[in-house]
Amino acid sequence: MSSPRLRVLAPALSIAALTFLTACSPERNVEAADTAKAGRTAAPDFALKDANGATVKLSDYRGKVVLLDFWATWCGPCKIEIPWFMEFEQTYKDRKFSVVGVSMDDDGWSVVKPYIEQHKINYRILLGNDDVGRRYGGVDSLPTTMLIDRSGHIAFTHVGLSTSKSGFQNEITSLLNAR
Amino acid sequence: MPARSTGALALFFLSFLAAGQDRGGMSVLSIAPVPKVHAQRGKELTQKLEAEVQPGFHVNSNAPDDEFLIPLKLTWNKGPLEVLEIVYPKPTREKYSFSDKPLAVFTGKFEIATRFRVSSAAGDMGVMTGKLRYQACNNKECLQPKTVNVQFSLDVR
């Protein structure tokens, strides 16, 4: 993929294709669609505000393994994964790993901030928007979680609630241990 | 891959995703068309909306237990009929793998009734329009909240 247009479309296309190909059953949970290193597409960059009003870019995390979680306060399945992600943040933060949550709540910080406080979320939460959703192929299903390697490429994608915490853990460690 | 082919492919996938809560050409929640309503000036009438949620999915009831859940809500725009009351069905309580306790939800077919009063000054014909907002999930995932238009036409005598 050499043209700028293809480079822009590729991540959205691959995420969209993944969602499309799994859309035929009522429960279209995708367990870790693993992309071999050579075939990984760049995670689209974005600039979003965090709860303190600071602008955060995904590219700020280049060199780290990132767990990027699209979620919402009204999403029940998301609530199961959030404690896992808090544990990962705590366990791996010293190994150049970060969890970044992107809230897709239309009601904004008025609902997201109380939720962060109530659940004592220990990782950075950003407020998403339709533009970021589009860049990632729509993100109509929540949770949608991606593991991004140190070079900023999407290595694993989970659409829907994952069946186990250990699956995520294995993927994180594989990316942390990769050379 | 030629740019035109890539664009077409992108449009195909993105149009599928833009359908929001549509899956495989079917909506997660569908509303049956309402036949023309016959109303009498100065009288009350009750009109039902028949909704159906796709198997495997649920929508939150109009009064979910959790403060963060998005309730189902029907609203009517100003029109020839005055809204007196909107009556939602009794929700079912279902347990899902992502929740510690059963949730108040609507599944399958359900009806929402609206009690209207027909104005004595209403014209001979009219249309009532409104919106139904809902948020659907299955056992593993939740879909973005969606608002669908609802309407019915009426003749007044």
pLDDT at A3 over 70: no
- The domain in which residue A160 lies consists of 4-177
- Do the chains contact at B13 and A3, CB–CB below 8 Å? no
pLDDT reported for residue B4? 41
pLDDT of residue A2: 41
Does residue A143 have a cis bond before it (omega within 30 degrees)? yes
Average pLDDT over residues A105-113: 96
Render pLDDT for A124-135 as a digit per residue (tens, 0 to 9): 999 999 999 999
Nearest to A146 by CA among A162, A157, A132: A157
B38-51 pLDDT, tens digit per residue, is: 999 999 999 999 99
The pLDDT of A115-123, averaged and rounded, is 97
- Digit-coded pLDDT (tens) for B64-109: 988 899 999 999 999 999 999 999 999 999 999 899 899 999 999 9
Check CB contact under 8 Å for A73 and B96: no
Q: Is the ipTM of this complex over 0.85?
A: no
> How far does A45 lie from chain B, in Å, by closest CA?
19
Other Cβ atoms closer than 10 A to B13: 23
Longest dimension (CA), chain B: 66
What percent of chain A clears pLDDT 70, i.e. is strictly above it?
80
Closest CA to B117 of B51, B50, B47: B47
**d(C-alpha A40, C-alpha A153), whole Å:** 6
When divided into structural domains, chain A yields a total of 1
- Interchain CB distance below 8 Å, A142 and B24: no
Nearest CB to A13 within list B13, B98, B145: B13
Say whether B18 sits in a helix, a strand or coil.
helix
Identify which of B17, B103, B137 has the shortest CB distance to residue A137: B17
A to B CB pairs, distance under 8 Å: 104
**Mean pLDDT across B6-21:** 35
Test A142 with B14 for CB contact under 8 angstroms: no
Q: Domain of A56: which CATH number?
A: 3.40.30.10
pTM value is 0.81
Strands B58-60, B136-137: pairing is: antiparallel
Whole-number pLDDT of residue A15: 52
Region label for B108, one of left (φ > 0), alpha (ψ between -120 and 50) or beta (otherwise): left
Report yes or no: A69 and A99 within 8 Å, Cβ to Cβ: yes
